[in-house]
């Protein structure tokens, strides 16, 4: 594997993509949709008297862009290996001086690079958010960086599926399912597993000197014991970690105000929620907040780490599948 080899493959992929011509339309449509969304967001916020409109706009825009990118990125890579096989152009490339790593990495670079071009097209709208105020530079840089990494992960997963599966339609479908599993599946599994592992615990409530509850109305009165079921999300939070939306939200650096929770910025709210899940349940009757003194730990390093490993695994698998001479050959598949 060499930079020159990767460059040869990536340049070729880019050139073939650009030549198909649809890209101008697709990029134009993307720009239109994203700008339309930002405009509506801006208009909607004009009726509030908030000071960090920019941060709210930016958060909303980033989540929207990630959702759109998650629709585009799989399409960029999900046919790059089996599509070449189908067209009969892969084998001729495999017998050149290019190694399997050159071909796999070159294809990933091309798909990833294209998705970053889409992301770059959102920059005018990002600047609009910045102009609206409340978006600090570190937040901008970190969310963009994390977004770029997440797009790479999605492309690498789709690339691996295109190398593993013979039919382009199957790999395309499974790539979307994989993205769906990461973004919706993690939430569903987290919800179900958490519900299934609920615990019942006995809570001793201290006597509240200011209590005025009528003992006849409430059997426990102002003190006593009762049982409640608690959802131990501190044991299941990791199921949420690979979710790209939560990673994006949780990784965004926050201002002091955002940390206090006095902002409605969507990224901040999602970050607080996911960190609360990691911290686990707190009793509704704990005065002076026993658990909340514990600083809730960040979730995104785990999630991003996992996803990046997933992407690296995808690239490794692709390279392995492209290595020749090969022992295995899919049934009915012509190698050329």
Partner 1 sequence: MTMTETSGRPPGIVAQGVRRTFGSVEAVRSVDFHAQPGEITALVGPNGAGKTTLLLVLATLLVPDAGSVSVAGYDPMTEAGEVRRRLGWAPDVFGLYDNLTAREYLEFFADAYRIPRPRGQQRAAELLALAHLPEYADSPVHVLSRGQKQRLGVVRAMVHDPEVLILDEPASGLDPRSRVDLKEMLREYAESGRTVVVSSHILSDLEELADRVVFIDKGLSVGEHVMSALPTSATSRRTWRLRSLDEPALVAALTRNGYSHSEPTAAGIDVDLADDAAAAALIAGLVNDKVPLVSCAPIGGALEAAYLELTEGRS
Nearer to partner 1, 47 or 331 (CB): 331
Which position among 96, 138, 197, 229 is part of the footprint of partner 1 (CB under 8 A)?
96
Nearer to partner 1, 19 or 47 (CB): 19
Nearer to partner 1, 98 or 132 (CB): 98
Helix orientation angle between 266-279 and 244-251, rounded to the nearest 10 degrees: 100
Select from 184, 181, 183, 178 the least CA-distant residue to 164.
178
* Residues 289-328 within binding reach of partner 1 (CB under 8 A): 324-327
Nearer to partner 1, 47 or 334 (CB): 334
Nearer to partner 1, 106 or 244 (CB): 106
> Of 82-90, 154-162, 171-179, 265-273, which segment contacts partner 1 by CB under 8 A?
82-90
| Cβ 87 vs Cβ 167: under 8 Å | no
Select from 217, 266, 199, 271 the least CA-distant residue to 240.
271
H helix runs in 280-299, sequence order = none
CA distances from 112 to 64, 78, 148, 299 (A): 19, 12, 8, 25
**Residue 308 burial by CB count (10 A; 0-12/13-18/19+): exposed, middle or buried?**
middle
Which position among 67, 89, 120, 195 is part of the footprint of partner 1 (CB under 8 A)?
89
Which position among 55, 77, 98, 163 is part of the footprint of partner 1 (CB under 8 A)?
98
Which position among 29, 67, 92, 309 is part of the footprint of partner 1 (CB under 8 A)?
92
| 142 vs 52: CA distance, rounded Å | 19
- 166 touching partner 1, by CB under 8 A: no
CA angle 74, 80, 82 (to 5 degrees): 115
- 47 touching partner 1, by CB under 8 A: no
Positions that interact with partner 1 (CB under 8 A): 4-5, 8, 12, 15-16, 19-20, 87-89, 91-98, 324-327, 329, 331, 334-336
């Amino acid at each position: 594997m060499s930079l020159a080899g990767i460059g040869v493959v990536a340049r070729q992929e880019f050139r073939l993509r650009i030549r198909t011509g649809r890209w101008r339309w697709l990029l134009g449509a993307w720009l239109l949709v994203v700008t339309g969304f930002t405009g509506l967001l801006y208009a909607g916020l004009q009726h509030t008297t908030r000071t960090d409109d920019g941060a709210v706009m930016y958060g909303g825009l980033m989540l929207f862009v990630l959702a759109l990118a998650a629709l585009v990125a799989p399409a960029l890579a999900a046919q790059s290996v089996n599509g070449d096989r189908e067209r009969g152009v892969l084998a001729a490339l495999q017998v050149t001086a290019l190694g399997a790593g050159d071909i796999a990495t070159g294809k990933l670079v091309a798909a990833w690079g294209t998705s970053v071009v889409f992301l770059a097209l959102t920059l005018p709208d990002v600047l609009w958010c910045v102009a609206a105020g409340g978006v600090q530079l570190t937040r901008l840089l970190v969310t963009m960086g994390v977004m770029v990494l997440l797009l790479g992960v999605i492309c690498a997963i789709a690339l691996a599926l295109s190398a593993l599966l013979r039919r382009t339609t199957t790999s395309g479908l499974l790539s979307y399912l994989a993205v769906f599993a990461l973004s919706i599946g993690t939430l569903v599994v987290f919800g179900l597993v958490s519900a299934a592992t609920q615990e019942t615990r006995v809570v001793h409530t201290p006597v509240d000197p200011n209590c005025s509850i009528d003992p006849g109305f409430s059997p426990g009165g102002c003190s006593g014991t009762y049982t409640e079921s608690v959802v131990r999300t501190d044991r299941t939070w990791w199921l949420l970690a690979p979710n790209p939306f939560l990673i994006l939200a949780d990784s965004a650096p926050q201002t002091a105000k955002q940390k206090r929770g006095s902002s409605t910025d969507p990224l901040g709210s999602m970050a607080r929620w996911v960190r609360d899940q990691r911290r686990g349940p707190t009793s509704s009757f704990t005065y002076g907040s026993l658990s909340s003194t514990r600083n809730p730990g960040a979730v995104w390093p785990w999630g991003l780490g996992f996803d990046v490993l997933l992407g690296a695994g995808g690239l490794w698998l692709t390279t392995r599948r492209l290595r020749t001479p090969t022992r295995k050959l899919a049934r009915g598949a012509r190698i050329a």
